[in-house]
Structure 1
């Protein structure tokens, strides 16, 4: 199936996307992922509406045009403030504004946003309406299937019904409940059981909506299998920890022909590091995103060690990547 028209914001192709992940999917991570896949939709880390309105938005959400298509995820629960933050995001050039209704951290709960908003679908509907009135790009929702003692089917279907009535037509569903008390954010990503079937049921119930599946997807084969019948899949930790899984996304999901080699990606990212270091970006802020590039390959441990230790040495620069690659090549040759 051919790609939709990427020049039309309303026609973003969401068949494969990489999840917003706090402390991980910053602009340097996204640049690396974009080198590997030209077609996947990328998301920012969650940006809090108040931080964008009152802080340094340029520092918080600037991105390189080469990252496109890229979406901005917002956290918040006040319609007027989310509308202001959405306008800021659109003015920066983001192709989509996404509302976080899935993060279970204490900090997010204390701000009355994230997963706790699953209990307040009417408020979410008001937020979506205000954001849509403020921008021309799509406004989407990323949610859970419920929180705490909620019945997942009742919670998810009722939430989607209310929010869709306000105009939302794109939902990315993390197929786990979130436990707001008793589980850490890390545990909330692994402990509550997955229910992919419920997300597929939602799509059958609401074929008019775009429904994407998120949560626990570890391989591209699994994405293709579990995403059948849905509008897309969103991969999180696996894309970050084993980024080479993205190499075949363009061909298998989108029918494209982009299929780079690992050494090519590393060399291009080294050029990016050189460029950004010239602007004052710390080396470690970029090399940390490469650590999983050779996951499972001979020399991967030495590759990670070099990229973890050597960026801290005085005068270190892009040549650190060259040394890490040499370690991989030597181990591969000996294998």
Structure 2
């Protein structure tokens, strides 16, 4: 098997050691700005954007991001090689560090559009898509997939798919260590019901070396994430990072050897106030920002009041960034002041 041509900068390869997964309706630009305040080193991903949306929708809304988010990867969905190539060429000009093709999402909406996890049954088509995308950019082109779908054999099926990706020239492979059941399970159930098989990803990584292979799925603590690095090139966290974002404040020290102190909740909240003020002045709604911040105070006294202020008060007419400061005050007051 021919080794892939490893494009991109060593800084990107380093950042892939720990990444935050693309999550539909969650990892928008406001979410990514928050996550970047917490970890300077990790690779961040956009939520999935279809090639059709880029070609026929509001391209600025879909693709713009704050330069502070870098390194940030764009995840695209689609199955038309020509359209994916055209969308990649457009995305290239926005300066993303990496372009990733989604071959892992199991939702009915995605299946009806013939992209996502259902494409694991069509490795030749996915390979054609990858080649087309690589021809439209000099940025790394990667794929995110499952270990299989439905009744596929996770040994032969995944090897066949991965071999096709390597021959097409992908720069890296991200693998969610569960099957996707396209019939009978909801997208939510597909995130938890199919059993995890980390060993299968480990075997794939050993077989595909030197292609970088990164693992995703069910990794909910930094301890478990660190353990994955003995067997893979990097680890990707999704829901755990979203629901308890302050764990990202430890990532730079634990995964990248940073010597600077972990960022604090207070510093993050004040930075988000400044960010939200700018965004509101440009037409954003405060609740579209605060909805990504609800878990920041998880485990702290006053966390319940923090969430209530950030979720309920932020939706009231005339709400502004004072909401963030009141929420911060809820977790900074002495415990006796919070009683009753």
What TM-score does the superposition give when structure 1 sets the normalisation length? 0.96
Candidates 84, 87, 90, aligned match of 1:88: 90
1:21-100 mapped onto 2 (5 Å cutoff): 21-100=23-102
Name the residue aligned to 1:3: none
Name the residue aligned to 2:263: 260
Q: Does 1:108 align with 2:110?
A: yes
Secondary structure, in 3 states, of the residue corresponding to 1:45? coil
Candidates 161, 168, 171, aligned match of 2:170: 168
> Deviation at 1:80?
0.6
Give RMSD over aligned pairs.
Answer: 1.6
> Deviation at 1:57?
0.6
Which blocks of at least 5 consecutive residues in structure 1 are unaligned?
1-5
> Deviation at 1:13?
2.9
Alignment size in residue pairs: 331
Change (3 A) 1:24 1:332: farther
CA distance in 1, matches of 2:88, 2:184: 33
Candidates 232, 242, 245, aligned match of 1:243: 245
Name the residue aligned to 1:304: 307
Candidates 269, 275, 278, aligned match of 1:275: 278
CA distance in 1, matches of 2:78, 2:302: 44
Would you say the 8 A contact 2:51–2:83 is kept in 1? yes
Q: Does 1:131 align with 2:133?
A: yes
- Residues 136-176 of structure 1: CA deviation (Å, up to 9, x unaligned): 00000000000001111221111101111111130000000
Secondary structure, in 3 states, of the residue corresponding to 1:146? strand
CA distance in 1, matches of 2:199, 2:107: 26
Secondary structure, in 3 states, of the residue corresponding to 1:162? helix
Name the residue aligned to 1:203: 205
Name the residue aligned to 2:4: none
Q: Does 1:288 align with 2:291?
A: yes
> Deviation at 1:11?
4.3
Name the residue aligned to 2:3: none
What TM-score does the superposition give when structure 2 sets the normalisation length? 0.94
> Deviation at 1:177?
0.1
Would you say the 8 A contact 2:12–2:71 is kept in 1? no
Change (3 A) 1:33 1:183: same
Secondary structure, in 3 states, of the residue corresponding to 1:137? coil
